[in-house]
Amino acid sequence: MYSLAVILLISYTGLGQIDCSKYYPMREGMTMQYTNYNKKGKSEGTVNYLVSNVSNEGGMTKADMSMTLKNEKGKEVFTSDYSIRCEDDKIAIDYNSLLPDNMMEQMGNMEMEVTGTDIELPNSLNVGDTLSDANVTMTMSMGGMNMKTEIFILNRKVEKKEVINTPAGEFDCYVIYSDTQTRSMGINRTFPSRQWLAEGIGMVKQESYQKDGDLINSTLLTAYSQ
């Protein structure tokens, strides 16, 4: 599914850390689980996140993240590591987290080179705010042939505030709209999407749509532990 596999996690251990990140706080050992659904609401598997390490250096806080993707049968199909940095009243999420879950499952053990720009999110959000773009480029090698896929997160805007109910609880959220544009093998596609972000939690819900507004898939926070 074309979701940001990004998405993350709860509460710092010290006051300075709490002040650093408002929407994506980090505490070592924190876990979160998201369930992916198709357009009919049927589960397509889960994504589990773990804050494996938190460090502080030179005014910057860094959280190392581990991600595990499981299919609808509970079989582990992909694992990945990336990082979140917190500095100067904003966070930056490693561009590797932009890679779609289904793409990583399909690529298996192929050789890959990944480059891009990180996703940034300020601590202060207000309805109507415009946020910076992000992108990732993945070049894959198989049998002497290279294939490049580009993903762009564009037109990010804080759209509204909304209360969301999930299996993990009820959350007051800011809704962030964006367009996800993919380019691969000469084919360009654009998918509008929305993310629901809660203070102290991070993302609690995401939906991706066709251009006409029809739902493609969704992701929902289903469990977390502090």
- 87-145 per-position pLDDT tens digit: 888 888 877 666 655 555 555 556 778 888 888 999 889 999 999 999 988 888 777 77
CATH node for 15-225:
2.40.360.20
Neighbours of 8 (CB within 10 A): 26
> Is the pLDDT at 64 greater than 60, yes or no?
yes
For tokens 């929305």, the residue is 194
Domain ranges of the chain: 15-225
Scanning the structure block, which residue is given the tokens 């564009």?
154
Q: Which helix (H) or strand (E) holds 43?
A: strand 43-57
Q: Which two tokens stand for residue 78?
A: 């992909």
Asked if residue 53 lies in contact with residue 28, where contact means CB atoms within 8 angstroms, the answer is yes
- Between the two ends of the chain, the Cα-to-Cα distance in Å is 27
pTM of the predicted model as reported, rounded to 2 decimal places: 0.79
